[in-house]
Amino acid sequence: MTHDLIKASLIIVLALNLTVMNIRKLLDQRFSLAFIEAGLPENAPTVIKPSSRPEFGQYQANGIMGAAKKLKSNPREIANKVLENLAIDDLADKVEIAGPGFINIHLKPDWLSNQLDTAMQSDTAGVSQSKNPITVVVDYSGPNLAKEMHVGHLRSSIIGDAIVRTLELVGHNVIRQNHVGDWGTQFGMLIAHMVDQQNESADLSVKLADLETFYREAKQRFDDDSDFAETARDYVVKLQSGDEQCKALWQQFIDISLQHCEDVYQQLHVSLTRDDVKPESSYNDDLPDIINDLDKQGLLTESDGARVVFLDELKAKDDKPFPAIVQKSDGGYLYATTDLAALRYRHHTLAAKRIMYFVDARQNLHLNAVFLIAKKAGFVADNTSLEHLAFGTMMGKDGKPFKTRTGGTVKLVDLLNEAEERAYALVAAKNPDLSDSEKKEIAHKVGIGAVKYADLSKNRTSDYIFNWDSMLSFEGNTAPYLQYAYTRIHSIFKKVDDYNADASIQLEAPEERQLAVKILQMEEVIDQVAKDATPNVLCNYLYELAGNFMSFYEACPILKAEKTVKNSRLKLAKQTANTLKLGLGLLGIETMERM
């Protein structure tokens, strides 16, 4: 693209974005145009970043150093040329060159005030809708219905849910897909055990109330009793052949299992419902067609009786093409076959342009293989974005995967109940005058919020250490700290009876301006979270916002200020609270008016 075309397109963008709330994007557009006018290389990055210290302004343009290196020119001379061509007077009251060629940008208080007023008229804290909304399918949680949910399902459930909420906020059509495991050999084992239990007791639902115990009993019998194991295998065949009795028992087990999941989702404040469940079994009838279509396209190879797609793009241990098995030698299908059917459904039926999988990092090779096959076979379009958003493991204090004291798997419901119990003790100690029902409600929000935030605030791809004390602390980067910050702001308004919500915002003190800029950075953060699926970026932002508010609160008296200043500062406080509530809500964390 020529300089003139780039310049023309930027001018059009600027004309369409006079009220853009994303300050960084707006500055990037203005500086990109100035870079072109100053004769810098095409697409030279402007590198707009928030300033590290208030005295350097609110933002810095750091791209001149890189451009000067390419041009073998003096960076300060280039910086001067950029400033000569920079049209930014409506946004900034001072723009200055610092160091070898950095440009500091001091935004106008009046402009910031107007932006804040615009943000306060919005239910989304000024976060704008996407100009190009698309259909996004998000695959997350995905428990195995043979067992109760355990701590291994936590990260997929809450990270996926935070991203779903964020994508919906900016206007995308988001379709949740809970790809639960409800098919396979273990269900024959469970049906066989159900039949025996039903013969012994008419009330099978009582036996199924504890799925974990029921599963262990069935597995023990399968391992120890060859006759039972043979019966279980027969039930698998009957189930897959559509036997009505088997399907009825299977459905009873599935319904009870899903109720367990729904109870956990409700307690965890995750937005998945029964309508979002799209189980493995729903693709069963399509699996032969998947194999036939792969065969017609010449993608299948027979290897030891199995049907395989060899992928040159992925290498096996011997550096040969990776063999992706899609049908076993006995005619059975694998997870890869079902995942291919799911991808085809999501593309052709749901019309997804972006498909996101929140699955742990151990499934990386499997999903990469499935994505490659799906593109080769035309099950999804080439321009459909297929993304594996991997995550690390929750670890115990010993640095090993989180387990019970006896080394067993921790049920997710037990973890959440313990979180609420611990939070209840803290709330009761801090505010004993609350009623028991109030303590329980607050303990639920604090306990569940603490567990979720401790996870979401970590880098998604990293393992992290689970620690009750740190996550339930009211100090530091925790959910209780942020929930308390919101409550504290709310308490200010209980002492005010003459607040004028239409008053103008005055940004005189450095702390006022710093807080205003931080509030307006919400859209920048949301853009990044939606693009990269990184809820920890939102967590860090909310923590910084709460910190900025505390600095403002200590330096700028609110209730004792004269009326005009008081109303201005109350508006700043109000928008801080609105932004905190919105951000925590995107993380699936509830706020409260008192703690």
Per-residue confidence (pLDDT) for residue 11, from 0 to 100: 41
Per-residue confidence (pLDDT) for residue 21, from 0 to 100: 58
Per-residue confidence (pLDDT) for residue 122, from 0 to 100: 83
Per-residue confidence (pLDDT) for residue 330, from 0 to 100: 85
Q: How far apart are CA 217 and CA 292, in angstroms?
A: 39
Query: What proportion of the chain, given as a percentage, has pLDDT over 70?
Result: 95
Q: Are the C-beta atoms of 227 and 155 separated by less than 8 Å?
A: no
Across residues 453-468, what is the average pLDDT?
A: 94
Q: pLDDT band at 315, cuts 50/70/90? A: confident
Q: Which DSSP helix (H) or strand (E) runs through 307?
A: strand 306-315
Longest dimension (CA), the chain: 89
Across residues 132-159, what is the average pLDDT?
A: 94
Per-residue confidence (pLDDT) for residue 141, from 0 to 100: 97
Q: Are the C-beta atoms of 310 and 322 separated by less than 8 Å?
A: yes
pLDDT in tens, 197-219: 877 765 666 777 788 888 889 99
Question: Letter for the amino acid at 201?
Answer: S
Per-residue confidence (pLDDT) for residue 201, from 0 to 100: 64
The residue with greater pLDDT, 201 or 247, is 247
Please choose, from the candidates 585, 587, 563, 578, the residue with its C-alpha nearest in 3D space to the C-alpha of residue 121: 578
Please choose, from the candidates 255, 280, 295, the residue with its C-alpha nearest in 3D space to the C-alpha of residue 345: 280
> Where does 431-534 have alpha helices with state H?
436-456, 468-471, 479-493, 510-520, 522-532
Q: Three-class SS of residue 579?
A: helix
Q: Three-class SS of residue 271?
A: coil
Q: Are the C-beta atoms of 271 and 159 separated by less than 8 Å?
A: no
Query: Does the structure show a pLDDT above 70 at 13?
Result: no
Query: Does the structure show a pLDDT above 50 at 269?
Result: yes
Q: How far apart are CA 303 and CA 208, in angstroms?
A: 42
Query: Beta strand 102-107 with 59-61: parallel, antiparallel or unpaired?
Result: antiparallel
Q: Are the C-beta atoms of 104 and 128 separated by less than 8 Å?
A: no
Query: What proportion of the chain, given as a percentage, has pLDDT over 90?
Result: 74
Across residues 449-468, what is the average pLDDT?
A: 94
pLDDT in tens, 435-453: 999 999 999 999 999 999 9
Per-residue confidence (pLDDT) for residue 529, from 0 to 100: 97
Please choose, from the candidates 63, 18, 55, the residue with its C-alpha nearest in 3D space to the C-alpha of residue 36: 63
The residue with greater pLDDT, 388 or 330, is 388
Per-residue confidence (pLDDT) for residue 202, from 0 to 100: 58
pLDDT in tens, 481-505: 999 999 999 999 999 988 888 889 9
Backbone angles phi, psi at 181, to 5 degrees: -85, 110
pLDDT in tens, 14-60: 433 434 358 999 999 999 999 999 888 878 899 999 998 888 999 99
Per-residue confidence (pLDDT) for residue 208, from 0 to 100: 73
Q: Which domains does the chain have, with CATH numbers?
A: 3-107 (3.30.1360.70), 156-388 (3.40.50.620)
Q: What is the 3-state secondary structure (H, E, C) of 124-189?
A: CCCCCCCCCCCEEEEECCCCECCCCCEHHHHHHHHHHHHHHHHHHHCCCEEEEEECCECCCHHHHH
* 52-86 b/e (C-beta count within 10 Å ≥ 16 → b): eeeebbbbbbbbbebbbeeeebebbebbebbbeeb
Per-residue confidence (pLDDT) for residue 1, from 0 to 100: 45
Per-residue confidence (pLDDT) for residue 88, from 0 to 100: 92
Across residues 142-167, what is the average pLDDT?
A: 94
Token pair recorded at residue 168: 């919906």
How far CA 20 is from CA of 24, 277, 518, in Å, comes to: 10, 38, 15
Q: Count of residues for the chain? A: 595
Q: pLDDT band at 126, cuts 50/70/90? A: confident
